[in-house]
């Protein structure tokens, strides 16, 4: 029967052979000896060094991130000699880092129940052939200029037909603002209300505070929610009041005009309250300039 020492010797011989075989490739040999580490240590890591060498070769023939052949796209399996051992790490390549850094502004944009693609909305992609968009784009330019002043400009109450691109437009503005370091939240209002209600006793206060104070806020699709006394008088009212008093730009999109919204807000399951609905509309008017986007439905 073989003892442990003999078995170890056999393993080592096998490793040495595979190392020598691998070194038949001159490039591999240059790669491993370039690590400046003793051969007896290199031998123990032959297989991992082969993986690292392959990834290194892929990188020297790089044709761009989209055709990256490495195990993890944009990362290179790399040997790091540390005394008598070699550790291996996945290191980010410069191209991947550039993409990551150029996208980092998107962290300034927080979405709630809106498709993630909305983070790609940009000024340069706004349909220029559509005249209906021009007054909105003009306002965006003024908004960005005025935003530098101490008193912040008003948001927009953007009404218009379904699928005309209202949400996209405001998201494009928020993206540009994000590039300047400004934080924003875009919330799909009907769904947000439902989840806010469900967060009672959990993190309701944090959620409410967060949207109350965020520098730029979009309440998307207001008027599509089931209005209740609670949502109107305990949520929307105080939220708008706070943002008004603190000059925090607030945007709305809606399929309803302001007078249609007023009607919708006045009716809840508890009855009709025109005064409370009126008060909300007054706050929206204080916070925004009204604009309209009637255009073809861009959804398909």
- 299 lies in the site for ligand ADP, by CB under 6 A: yes
Single out the segment in contact with ligand ADP by CB under 6 A; choices: 3-11, 23-31, 141-149, 158-166: 158-166
The span of 94-102, 120-128, 198-206, 284-292 binding ligand ADP (CB under 6 A) equals 120-128
Comparing every residue's Cβ against Mg ion, the nearest one is 167
What sign results for the dihedral spanned by CA atoms 84, 88, 94, 99? Answer: negative
Could you give the CA distance from residue 156 to residue 169 in angstroms, rounded to a whole number? 11
Residues 166 and 294: their CA atoms lie apart, in Å, by: 9
- Nearest of 267, 247, 244, 260 to residue 292 by alpha carbon: 260
Binder among 46, 159, 164, 250 for ligand ADP (CB under 6 A): 164
Among 46, 167, 264, 266, contact with Mg ion (rule: CB under 5 A): 167
Q: Are strands 288-293 and 271-272 parallel, antiparallel or unpaired?
A: unpaired
Q: 221 or 262: whose CB is closer to ligand ADP?
A: 221
Nearer to ligand ADP, 2 or 299 (CB): 299
Phi first, then psi: give them for residue 67, nearest 5 degrees.
-115, 25
Does 134 bind ligand ADP (CB under 6 A)? Our answer is no
* Least Å from the CB of residue 126 to ligand ADP: 5
Q: Give dist(CA 29, CA 13) in Å, integer.
A: 18
Site for ligand ADP in 168-187 (CB under 6 A): 168
Instruction: Find all residues with CB under 8 Å of 231, minimum gap 6, and list them.
Output: 193, 197, 225
The footprint of ligand ADP on residues 253-292 (CB under 6 A) is: 253
Q: What's the closest the beta carbon of residue 208 comes to ligand ADP, in angstroms?
A: 24
Nearer to ligand ADP, 31 or 251 (CB): 251
Residue 125 contact partner, candidates ligand ADP, Mg ion, none, CB within 5 to 8 A by sort of partner = ligand ADP
| Pairwise CA distance, residues 32 & 40, whole Å | 12
* Per-residue DSSP letter, 126: S
Q: Crossing angle, helix 237-245 and helix 204-213, to 10 degrees?
A: 40
Smallest separation (angstroms) from Mg ion to the CB of 254: 9
Q: How many CB atoms lie within 10 A of CB 282?
A: 13
Alpha-carbon distance of 183 to 179, in angstroms, equals 9
Q: Does 46 help bind ligand ADP (rule: CB under 6 A)?
A: no
Q: Which window, 69-77, 90-98, 117-125, 165-173, contacts Mg ion (CB under 5 A)?
A: 165-173
As beta bridge partners, residue 253 has 158
Least separation, in Å, of the C-beta of 113 and ligand ADP? Answer: 13
Size of the site for ligand ADP (CB under 6 A): 13
Which residues form the interface with ligand ADP (CB under 6 A)? 125-127, 162-168, 253, 298-299
Please give the residue ranges that form the binding site for Mg ion (CB under 5 A). Answer: 167
């Amino acid at each position: 029967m073989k003892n442990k020492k003999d078995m170890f010797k056999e393993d080592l011989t096998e490793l040495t052979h595979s190392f020598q075989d691998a070194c038949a490739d001159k490039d591999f040999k240059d790669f491993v000896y370039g690590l400046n580490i003793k051969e007896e240590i290199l031998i123990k890591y032959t297989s991992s060094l082969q993986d690292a060498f392959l990834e290194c070769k892929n990188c020297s023939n790089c044709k761009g991130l989209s055709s990256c052949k490495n195990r993890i796209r944009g990362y290179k399996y790399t040997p790091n000699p540390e005394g008598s051992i070699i550790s291996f790490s996945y290191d980010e390549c410069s191209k991947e880092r550039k993409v990551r850094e150029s996208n980092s502004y998107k962290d300034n944009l927080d979405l709630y129940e809106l498709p993630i693609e909305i983070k790609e909305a940009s000024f340069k992609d706004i349909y220029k052939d559509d005249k209906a968009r021009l007054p909105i784009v003009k306002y965006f330019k003024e908004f960005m200029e005025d935003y530098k002043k101490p008193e912040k400009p008003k948001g927009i109450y953007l009404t218009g037909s379904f699928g005309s691109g209202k949400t996209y437009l405001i998201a494009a503005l928020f993206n540009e603002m994000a590039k300047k370091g400004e934080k924003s939240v875009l919330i799909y209002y009907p769904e947000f209300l439902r989840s806010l209600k469900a967060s009672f006793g959990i993190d309701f206060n944090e959620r409410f505070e967060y949207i109350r104070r965020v520098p730029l806020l979009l309440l998307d699709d207001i008027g599509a929610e089931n209005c209740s006394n609670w949502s109107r008088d305990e949520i929307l009212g105080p939220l708008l009041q706070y943002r008004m008093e603190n000059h925090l730009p607030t945007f709305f999109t809606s399929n309803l005009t302001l007078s249609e919204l007023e009607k919708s807000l006045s009716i809840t399951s508890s009855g009709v309250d025109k005064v409370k609905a009126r008060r909300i509309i007054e706050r929206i008017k204080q916070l925004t300039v009204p604009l309209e986007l009637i255009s073809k439905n861009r959804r398909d």
